[in-house]
Amino acid sequence: MNRFPLLRRLLQFVAAAATVLLVLKAVVHGWQYHLTQRLQRSVEDEDHAACVASGEQLADLRSLAIGEATQLARCRRILASDYWVAGQRQQALDLLERLVDSPQMVGTDQSRLSEWVRQQRDRAVEHYRRGELSTAVALLGELSDRQEPHRDMLIESLRTRWHLNQQLHDQAMEFRDAGRWWEAFDVINRLDHPWWRTHAKSLEDEIVTATQALSGQGVGRDAHNGRGRHDVPPEDLDRHLRLHLTRGADEWQAYLQACRELGGVVVDYGPESVCRR
């Protein structure tokens, strides 16, 4: 009869655990060896995608040797450029950002990342100006928070300006249909988006023709058709103003742009100016 059954079971458990650890260690060692060989072959074959994949997997398992880290950095650099040329811009940006975060980063890597981010942002703005809001938002969404810290604010600004112009266009049509030509004239002239200005050209021509006819008949406008202007909410104006200041605009231009985005116009009162709708 075994007088120490608990001790025997404990020894069996320890032996089993040690065996499992040895097996796992052997598996990890074998996988490291496989990745090391794969990294070297991919470098020799100039298979940069395989080089990056094997190098990054190997780096998750152990510290890379100086030569291996240098090879991985070179493959990241070349593959990122290949992605960018092929139009796979999000993959290119993410890969180059990982390179910039590594000790093997050089100054040209950071400058290239900044340039690519600028090009992506400019491309988004160009699509937006052509009336392609969803494409512009998608392009900006491909940028990480680090690449474009003000990404969400910029997207919000584009959407706000777009929907404001859409509302102004619809309102101008309603005033036109109601024969409220002077009000339609005021509204149509507040459109400040290139696509909406072009889209509304025929409507604008109709409104201008009608108001010119009214003027010729001696029918002028009253004080905004009896509708007084109201100050734009200061918290909304301040939020939009701060966005444009972070984008590098001077204070006055940022104020004008913020006011326009909120559907207002800048009205001068002596030494002061206010944004009113």
The tokens for 44 are 């020799």
Whether residues 177 and 274 share a domain: the answer is: no
Q: Which residues are bridge partners to 272 per DSSP? A: 269
Which domain-ending residue is among 115, 141, 167?
141
Cα–Cα distance measured from residue 75 to residue 55, given in angstroms and rounded to the nearest whole number: 9
Q: Contact 133/162 with Cβ under 8 angstroms?
A: yes
Whether residues 12 and 100 share a domain: the answer is: yes
Whether residues 38 and 137 share a domain: the answer is: yes
The tokens for 163 are 């929907």
183 HSE (CA, 13 A, CB side): 18
SS3 label, residue 241: helix
pLDDT recorded at residue 224? 41
Q: How many domains does the chain have?
A: 3
For 243, counting Cβ atoms within 10 Å of its Cβ (0-12 exposed, 13-18 middle, 19+ buried), the class is buried
Whether residues 24 and 88 share a domain: the answer is: yes
Whether residues 251 and 201 share a domain: the answer is: no
Q: Contact 222/185 with Cβ under 8 angstroms?
A: no
pLDDT recorded at residue 8? 61
pTM for the model stands at 0.65
For 65, counting Cβ atoms within 10 Å of its Cβ (0-12 exposed, 13-18 middle, 19+ buried), the class is exposed
pLDDT recorded at residue 26? 42
Whether residues 63 and 106 share a domain: the answer is: yes
Which domain-ending residue is among 225, 241, 265?
225
Q: Contact 218/239 with Cβ under 8 angstroms?
A: no
Whether residues 238 and 253 share a domain: the answer is: yes
Cα–Cα distance measured from residue 42 to residue 71, given in angstroms and rounded to the nearest whole number: 10
Domain that holds residue 100: 5-141
Whether residues 245 and 220 share a domain: the answer is: no
Task: Render 192-222 in DSSP notation, one character per residue.
Answer: --HHHHHHTHHHHHHHHHHHHHHHHTT----
- What is the sign, positive or negative, of the torsion defined by CA atoms of 6, 9, 15, 17? negative
Whether residues 239 and 220 share a domain: the answer is: no
- Which residue in the block uniquely carries the two structure tokens 């104006």? 237
pLDDT recorded at residue 269? 45
Whether residues 163 and 203 share a domain: the answer is: yes
Averaged pLDDT, groups of 10, the chain, 277 residues long: 61 58 48 72 84 86 85 93 94 94 92 95 95 96 91 92 94 92 92 94 94 75 44 82 82 84 68 66
Whether residues 75 and 137 share a domain: the answer is: yes
Which domain-ending residue is among 225, 241, 261?
225
pLDDT recorded at residue 13? 63
Whether residues 10 and 137 share a domain: the answer is: yes
